[in-house]
A and B are shown apart, each in its own frame.
Chain A
Amino acid sequence: MLPRLGPPLTVLVLAGPVLAGLAGTLLPAFGYLPALGGHDLSLQPFRDLANEPGIAKSISLSLFTGLASTALALVVVAIFTAAWAGTPSFRRIRHLISPLLSVPHAAAAFGLAFLIAPSGLIARMVSPELTGWTVPPDVRVVNDPYGLSLVAGLAVKEIPFLLLMTLAALPQSRLDETRRLCAALGYGRIAGFMLAAWPGIYRQIRLAVFAVLAFATSVVDVAMILGPTTPAPLSVRIVGWMGDPDLAMHFKASAGAVLQLAVTAAAILLWIALERLGGRLRERLADAGARMPRDRMLASAARAAMIAAALIVMAGLAALAIWSVAGLWQFPHALPRAFTLETWSRVGPRLASPLATTLAVGAIATVLAVALVLLCLRQEDETRRRAGPAAMTLVYLPLIVPQAAFLFGLQLIFLLAGIGASVTALVLAHLVFVLPYVFLSLSDPWRAFDRRYEAVAAGLGRSPREILLKIRLPMQLRAILTAAAVGFAVSIGLYLPTLLIGAGRLPTITTEAVALASGGNRRVIGVYAFVQMLLPAIGFAVAIAVPALIFRRFRAMRA
């Protein structure tokens, strides 16, 4: 009976805030917000927006960085899968890449910044021996005006996510048979895969790619840390207007959010055009029988790119850790002269409050999300009908609509409802983003359960409730806890929702860390970013350890 509530409640959580938020953003964008003196619809906010200096540059930056990082990540993942799927190398690199998924975007971005900056870890390691530098060169690497470091920072996080999505789609592609067939026809491994298997796989991961693209064109925290500053990408500027003490800026910010929606939509349309081109290219190549038998170099390059992505993130995290305990560390020394815990002890007390908020909101949002997803999946069980493509689009909806576009409106609605800047509002806002990832993480393992176990238990006379509590949930404990860990990690890393809905009054580790970005105090940033990275890792450690401990004597449970 209760599972029947699952799907409607989930639809409400997924679509409600997005649609309501869009409406709440749309009206002020056209000048209507009585609370701030806007009583008539007008195009003035858009005119103000058009008059902003460098607005065209900001738009093109958002478009470029979004498209470039997504394309880069997709190409690397596609070629790598084409060349190496099914080999031991693939498995090894997959295990290398998977933990990166739990690293929050901001921590990864900070790590990259600490790595590639002129005075960063890489420069220190090769100076002065290879470069002759005794002072950091005066080159803008981080926050470079073309957005290249932003592209890099986005790509290293998008690669693990797209790899995971590709892996999920791989079993249905009948990889072995396709590969053998193509090899028999004389095609190189990469060419055979890209021409024969990839189209089917891409169709499966298409929504995930759109989600990546939407995120990349509208991300705020990574853009603040790595992106250009004058002008900044559109998303960063919008947040600036939103936080401006001059409340009249709210209208311009709302117009900006509508513009952001248009920019993301334009990026997706451009991407679809690229898909068409790519499809036509594929047809040409396939019809021409382009075999590309000698593809070892490309294969090695793809594998090197994957390993590089993993190493970059890990080295970046190491740099964060070192800075957090660094005493005196002059350029060009590769390591600090002295280590100290002074930064940790100084910053520690300041961490307590944001940490408590982060953990509380994360835990509650995750528990709610897991409960809703379980209800939906149980409803699927009972009706024997799986959620269709329309449902999947709904699941991806909060991930494809740019956050700014509906969070402004949502903030307004929460304020009007009287729960503005409260923990309740923050939990609800986080739930909107946590729910899709928990669903994506739990649905496959749940549906893969051998339901004959339930038939056996029913035949033994056990009630449905007993079967759920004593058979199904224990057997699927690891999948459930892993999905919870994913949801928890998502909540930890959320920046814009916390900033906007919390109205600055409910800081989390993430918002505090990003606020420090402009300050440039690497030791303090190191502490915050390290803590931000640690929290999801602890979640995953619990997800692995708890079932392993409970079922330690049962071999089949450890598989």
Chain B
Amino acid sequence: MDKPGLDLDRLRISLAGSTLLEVTHRVAPGEVLTIMGPSGSGKSSLLALLGGFLDPAFDFGGRAICGGVDLLALPAHERHAGILFQDALLFPHMTVAGNLLFAMPASVTPRSEREAKARAALADVDLVGFGDRDPDTLSGGQKARVALARVLLSRPRMLLLDEPFSKLDAALRQQMRELVFSRARQNGLPVVLVTHDEADAAAAGGAIVRIGGA
């Protein structure tokens, strides 16, 4: 049966024989699973495993099922595991609108429809009129909002967040948390958040898994 949400079943990452982490949890749509731990504990590796770009030096086991699909059996580009990093990583050789159009599935046609959707996405994150801008000229907060709009436009199955708020200044951080988590809820996306910031975990309001010792 296709259960909605993300099902992590004894998902395990090990290096040279020793297990770094093991997680078993069901993340409901719109819910956030927070993974907390010190630097180097391997928490980013969990996201890498789910996203499909884990370094071959690591071994892994267990299963990750999302919407009835066995994620680990798919190549990275078929998993639709939208990822937000610390840096917005907007493609520097495309405009803001270009970044959004790149993310949109090819099934959205014709071009006027695609452009309309891109404009709507920008309006949704309060960036009306920013379509034609060079991404490098945006502020940190604006870049983060474009990155969020971009990943939502790709119709992901889930969201992977790799400390996405840590480079924002404190005032923006709370705004972005609310924006990201509310959009995830609206779109019914299970979220895995990796962070070392307790405030992130509190705002996420979901289960917390701590790894790597104290």
The 3 tightest CB contacts between A and B, nearest first, are A556-B92, A556-B136, A458-B76
In the complex, chain B residues whose CB is within 8 Å of the CB of A458: 51-53, 76-77
Whether a CB of chain B sits under 8 angstroms from the CB of A553 is yes
- Expressed in whole angstroms, the minimum distance between the Cβ of A120 and any Cβ of chain B is 49
Residue in B93, B102, B160 whose Cβ sees the most chain A Cβ within 10 Å? B93
On whether A456 and B134 interact (CB within 8 A), knowing A463-B77, A475-B92, the answer reads no
Q: How far is A553 from B156 in the complex, measured between Cα atoms in Å?
A: 30
Q: How far is A461 from B79 in the complex, measured between Cα atoms in Å?
A: 7
- Expressed in whole angstroms, the minimum distance between the Cβ of B192 and any Cβ of chain A is 12
- CB distance A459 to B151 under 8 Å? yes
List 17 extra interface pairs beyond A463-B77, A475-B92, A556-B134, CB under 8 A: A383-B56, A384-B55, A450-B89, A453-B89, A455-B51, A455-B53, A456-B83, A458-B51, A458-B52, A458-B53, A459-B156, A460-B154, A462-B102, A464-B75, A470-B102, A555-B136, A555-B137
In chain B, what residue has the closest Cβ to A454? B53
On whether A471 and B77 interact (CB within 8 A), knowing A383-B56, A458-B52, the answer reads no
Q: Restricting to B65-100, which residues have a CB under 8 Å from any CB of A?
A: 75-83, 85, 87, 89, 91-94
In the complex, chain B residues whose CB is within 8 Å of the CB of A475: 91-93
Whether a CB of chain A sits under 8 angstroms from the CB of B105 is yes
Count of interface residues, chain B, beta-carbon cutoff 8 Å? 36
Chain A interface size, under 10 / 10 to 19 / 20 to 34 / 35 or more: 20 to 34
- CB distance B103 to A460 under 8 Å? yes
6 contacts between A and B (CB under 8 A): A383-B56, A456-B83, A459-B76, A459-B79, A461-B154, A461-B156
Whether a CB of chain A sits under 8 angstroms from the CB of B145 is no
In the complex, chain A residues whose CB is within 8 Å of the CB of B151: 459-460
- CB distance B56 to A384 under 8 Å? yes
Whether a CB of chain A sits under 8 angstroms from the CB of B135 is yes
In the complex, chain A residues whose CB is within 8 Å of the CB of B155: 461
In the complex, chain A residues whose CB is within 8 Å of the CB of B80: 459, 461
Residue in A384, A454, A459, A555 whose Cβ sees the most chain B Cβ within 10 Å? A459
* Chain A positions 517 through 559: 1 when the CB is less than 8 Å from some CB of chain B, otherwise 0: 0000000000000000000000000000000000101111100
By a beta-carbon cutoff of 8 Å, the part of chain A in contact with chain B is 383-384, 450-464, 467, 470-471, 474-475, 551, 553-557
In the complex, chain A residues whose CB is within 8 Å of the CB of B83: 455-456, 459
On whether A460 and B92 interact (CB within 8 A), knowing A455-B53, A556-B135, A556-B136, the answer reads no
Residue in B53, B56, B160 whose Cβ sees the most chain A Cβ within 10 Å? B53
Whether a CB of chain A sits under 8 angstroms from the CB of B43 is no
Main secondary structure of the interface of A (DSSP, over half): helix
On whether A551 and B93 interact (CB within 8 A), knowing A460-B154, A462-B77, the answer reads yes
Whether a CB of chain A sits under 8 angstroms from the CB of B170 is no
Q: How far is A557 from B51 in the complex, measured between Cα atoms in Å?
A: 27
By a beta-carbon cutoff of 8 Å, the part of chain B in contact with chain A is 48, 51-53, 55-57, 75-83, 85, 87, 89, 91-94, 102-103, 105, 134-137, 150-151, 154-156, 160
Q: How far is A186 from B56 in the complex, measured between Cα atoms in Å?
A: 48
> With contacts defined as CB atoms under 8 Å apart, how many contacts are there between chain A and chain B in the complex?
84
In the complex, chain A residues whose CB is within 8 Å of the CB of B91: 453, 457, 471, 475
In the complex, chain A residues whose CB is within 8 Å of the CB of B154: 459-461
- Expressed in whole angstroms, the minimum distance between the Cβ of A452 and any Cβ of chain B is 6
In the complex, chain B residues whose CB is within 8 Å of the CB of A452: 85, 87, 89
Cβ-defined partner of A474 (8 Å) among B93, B137, B160: B93
- Expressed in whole angstroms, the minimum distance between the Cβ of B86 and any Cβ of chain A is 9
In chain B, what residue has the closest Cβ to A465? B77
- Expressed in whole angstroms, the minimum distance between the Cβ of A508 and any Cβ of chain B is 37
- Expressed in whole angstroms, the minimum distance between the Cβ of B84 and any Cβ of chain A is 8
In the complex, chain A residues whose CB is within 8 Å of the CB of B87: 452
In chain A, what residue has the closest Cβ to B158? A459
Q: How far is A238 from B150 in the complex, measured between Cα atoms in Å?
A: 65
Q: How far is A452 from B76 in the complex, measured between Cα atoms in Å?
A: 13
- Expressed in whole angstroms, the minimum distance between the Cβ of B150 and any Cβ of chain A is 7
On whether A456 and B77 interact (CB within 8 A), knowing A384-B57, A556-B136, the answer reads no
In the complex, chain A residues whose CB is within 8 Å of the CB of B77: 457-458, 461-464, 467
In chain B, what residue has the closest Cβ to A462? B77
- CB distance B53 to A554 under 8 Å? no
In chain B, what residue has the closest Cβ to A450? B89
On whether A459 and B160 interact (CB within 8 A), knowing A553-B134, A555-B134, A555-B137, the answer reads yes
- Expressed in whole angstroms, the minimum distance between the Cβ of A454 and any Cβ of chain B is 8
In the complex, chain A residues whose CB is within 8 Å of the CB of B134: 553-556
On whether A460 and B89 interact (CB within 8 A), knowing A384-B57, A455-B51, the answer reads no
On whether A460 and B102 interact (CB within 8 A), knowing A384-B57, A452-B85, A455-B51, the answer reads yes
Q: How far is A462 from B151 in the complex, measured between Cα atoms in Å?
A: 12
- CB distance A459 to B89 under 8 Å? no
Q: How far is A455 from B87 in the complex, measured between Cα atoms in Å?
A: 13
Q: How far is A471 from B150 in the complex, measured between Cα atoms in Å?
A: 15
- Expressed in whole angstroms, the minimum distance between the Cβ of B154 and any Cβ of chain A is 4
In the complex, chain A residues whose CB is within 8 Å of the CB of B51: 455, 458-459
Q: How far is A239 from B61 in the complex, measured between Cα atoms in Å?
A: 64
Q: How far is A462 from B105 in the complex, measured between Cα atoms in Å?
A: 9
Q: How far is A462 from B56 in the complex, measured between Cα atoms in Å?
A: 21
In the complex, chain B residues whose CB is within 8 Å of the CB of A461: 77-78, 80, 103, 105, 154-156
Cβ-defined partner of A460 (8 Å) among B53, B150, B160: B150
In the complex, chain B residues whose CB is within 8 Å of the CB of A454: 53
- Expressed in whole angstroms, the minimum distance between the Cβ of A1 and any Cβ of chain B is 13
Q: How far is A32 from B79 in the complex, measured between Cα atoms in Å?
A: 64
- Expressed in whole angstroms, the minimum distance between the Cβ of A174 and any Cβ of chain B is 22
In the complex, chain B residues whose CB is within 8 Å of the CB of A554: 92-94, 134-136
In chain B, what residue has the closest Cβ to A451? B53
- Expressed in whole angstroms, the minimum distance between the Cβ of A451 and any Cβ of chain B is 8
- Expressed in whole angstroms, the minimum distance between the Cβ of B105 and any Cβ of chain A is 6
- CB distance B82 to A460 under 8 Å? yes
